Amino acid sequence: MIPKRYQRMHAQYPELMNAYESFGKAARQAGPLSDREVALVKLAISIGAGLEGAAHSHCRKAIEAGCCASDLHHVALLAAPTIGFPTMMRARSWVEDVVGEAPSFETPSTEATSE
């Protein structure tokens, strides 16, 4: 789903938008990261920069690149130690806007249980 504003920008400034898209393609091809890895990094950058629209867009692109909802939720959770809990909660809401609420990923206790 390409946002209407982006489509309008393309219609109004096709040369500029083609150059912008070529720049993005060149950046992706400049290194060894897979499409999936690039998508997760771009989502993380959008979250860190506080860009809601970009986070929504990169969630959709990540799914197209083969990521699952739990991957995107994990990226949002990873934001907490670096940019803070409230910002992580905001990021979670942006991911949830696109993929829905996260299932619980509590890890099982490693303590032995006595019977």
In a domain, 40, yes or no: no
The proportion of the chain whose per-residue pLDDT surpasses 90, expressed as a percent, equals 83
The answer to whether residue 7 is domain-embedded is: no
Please indicate, yes or no, if residue 88 is contained in any of the structural domains: yes
Domain total of the chain: 1
pLDDT at residue number 2: 82
Within-domain flag for 90: yes
- Quick check: is 19 in a domain? no
Q: Quick check: helix, strand or coil at residue 47?
A: helix
How far the first Cα of the chain sits from its last, in Å, is: 53
Question: Quick check: is 3 in a domain?
Answer: no
CA angle 64, 67, 69 (to 5 degrees): 110
Give residue-wise pLDDT tens across range 55-87. 999 999 999 999 999 999 999 999 999 999 999
Does residue 68 lie in a domain region?
A: yes
Which structural domain, as residue segments, surrounds residue 87? 55-100
The contacts of residue 96 (CB under 8 Å, 6+ apart) are: 102
Residue whose pair of structure tokens reads 């993005």 in the numeric block:
24
pLDDT confidence of residue 89: 97
